[in-house]
Amino acid sequence: MVQIPQCRGEISRSHSVLVGALVRLAQCINCHKAVSGVQDLRSHTQALLWHQILFLEIRTGEAQGPLPTERTDELPLPLNVDDHGPFNVPSSIMAWTDSSFSIIRYECYEIHRLIFRGRVAVEHNDITIQELLEAVDRRKKEVIAKHDAILDSCVPIQQCAKTVMKLLLARCDGMTLTGQLHRFEDVGVQVQMKAR
């Protein structure tokens, strides 16, 4: 609870260290082993908590480094259900619930994690920048298709969620290409040093 407001404003190296300790602590109580499908209140709460911790990790990683370490490709998102349930449903409810705003944010940050991993893969020549941009674009379209239909612009909290979704998705292309710009800047510096 303390880290959430602290990581919203200025982030220092101490925040990065504290979030790293928080990740390990959450792993000790098995938050990272949240189940998919049928859940109960406890596993639903653990899944929400774990994804909030992953948000803090990516936030501190962006500001201070190192890159986010947790792999989340196989980790299911929490069910999109109200806080009072029902938790015995096999899949998320396709309507606005108490969890919807958080899940929208978590899905957008999953794309940001994909970008961080993809930038490393591009540097190692495992994929091209075009392939990474296409993968990011596919994921963005999936998130928009999934959530746009359930968001009512006349309801303030849902309009806010829609705006946050658009802002987080708008960052994706810039994040992807910024990594390439830094790569070319490094090459340019090396060329200039060799020329001297």
The answer, yes or no, to whether residue 38 has pLDDT greater than 90, is no
pLDDT tens for residues 99-152?
899 999 999 988 988 888 888 888 888 999 999 999 999 999 999 999 998 999
Cis check: omega of the bond before 86, within 30 degrees of 0: yes
pLDDT tens for residues 59-73?
777 766 666 666 555
Cβ distance 109 to 167 under 8 Å? no
Q: For residue 35, what is the DSSP state?
A: P
**Arithmetic mean of pLDDT over the chain:** 78
What is residue 179's predicted lDDT score, i.e. its pLDDT?
62
Between 38 and 94, whose confidence is greater?
94
Tell me which residue has tokens 């899905």: 107
Q: For residue 153, what is the DSSP state?
A: T
Cβ distance 146 to 168 under 8 Å? no
The backbone torsions φ and ψ at residue 143, rounded to the nearest 5 degrees and listed phi first, read: -65, -45
Please state, in angstroms and rounded to a whole number, the distance separating the CA atoms of residues 106 and 111.
9
Other beta carbons less than 10 A from residue 114's beta carbon? 18
